[in-house]
Amino acid sequence: MRVLIFSDIHNDLNALRRLVEIPADWYVCAGDLVSWARGLDACGEVLRPLEDRLLLLPGNHEDAATISAFAAKFGFQAVHGTSREIGGRRFAFLGYSNPTPFDTPGEYTEEEIARHLEPLADPKPDVLICHCPPEGTDLDKMRNGGHAGSTSIRDFVESTQPAWFFSGHIHETEGVTTMLGDTTGHNPGKRGYLLEWD
C-alpha cells in the first residue's frame, strides 16, 4: 500500500504535476492547496486524474465548505474531521489551523480543535493527518525560533500516540521528521511523503 501525503501547495501547479506522476494507491492533501481559497479549479484540473483516490483537507487558507464543494465538483473526497481504514490501517484527518495573525478562512480556536479531535480518538488512529502541527515541537518551529502550532493537537498526539503524524502549515519545517513520544511526526510539504507498507 502506498499513500502519498502532501501539503501547502499554494497554487504551485508544477509541484502538483510532479505529485500526480508519483504512483500511489491513495493521495492526501493536508491543506493549503491554494492561497486565500483562490485558484482551486486550476488545481482541480491538474489533480483530476486522481479521481476519488484523492483525499482533501482544508488548510487555514480554505474553509471546509469550499473544499467539500471543490471535491464534489472534481470527484475527490473531502475528509476533514473523519477517520477511515486504508489498507488495514486507521487514518484520521483534521484540517484548519489554530488562530494566525492573518485571519485566514480556516482557523479554529484551541477549544474547537480539541472538540473536533475528540471523536477521532476511538478507534485509535494509526496515522493522524492534520494541517496544523503540534505546538512546541520541531514541526512548528518558525525561522525566528518561535512556535506556532496547536496545543490541542499536541495533547491529542501525546495521549493517543498514533504510529505516524503528518502536518504542514509551517513552510520552513518542510521535510522535517521528529519523534513525538512513540509517534513519528513529519511535514511532507509540497514535495510529498510516500508512506508505504505491505
Rg (CA), the chain: 15
Q: What φ, ψ does residue 19 adopt, rounded to 5°? A: -65, -40
Residue percentage of the chain with pLDDT more than 70: 100
- Is pLDDT at 80 greater than 90 in this prediction? yes
Tens digits of residue pLDDT in 4-51? 999 999 999 999 999 999 999 999 999 999 999 999 999 999 999 999
Return the axis-axis angle of helices 40-47 and 13-20, rounded to nearest 10°: 20
Asked whether the beta carbons of 125 and 91 are under 8 A apart, the reply is yes
Tens digits of residue pLDDT in 175-187? 999 999 999 999 9
How, if at all, do strands 164-166 and 89-94 pair? Answer: unpaired
For the chain, domain boundaries? 2-196
**The three cell numbers locating residue 150:** 496547536
CATH of 2-196, one of 3.30.990.10, 3.30.70.141, 3.30.9.10, 3.60.21.10: 3.60.21.10
pLDDT the model gives residue 154: 98
Average pLDDT, the chain: 97
pLDDT the model gives residue 47: 98
- Is pLDDT at 145 greater than 90 in this prediction? no
Tell me which amino acid residue 117 is: L
What secondary structure letter does DSSP report for 31? S
Asked whether the beta carbons of 167 and 133 are under 8 A apart, the reply is yes
Measured in whole angstroms, how far is the alpha carbon of residue 57 from the centre of its chain? 6
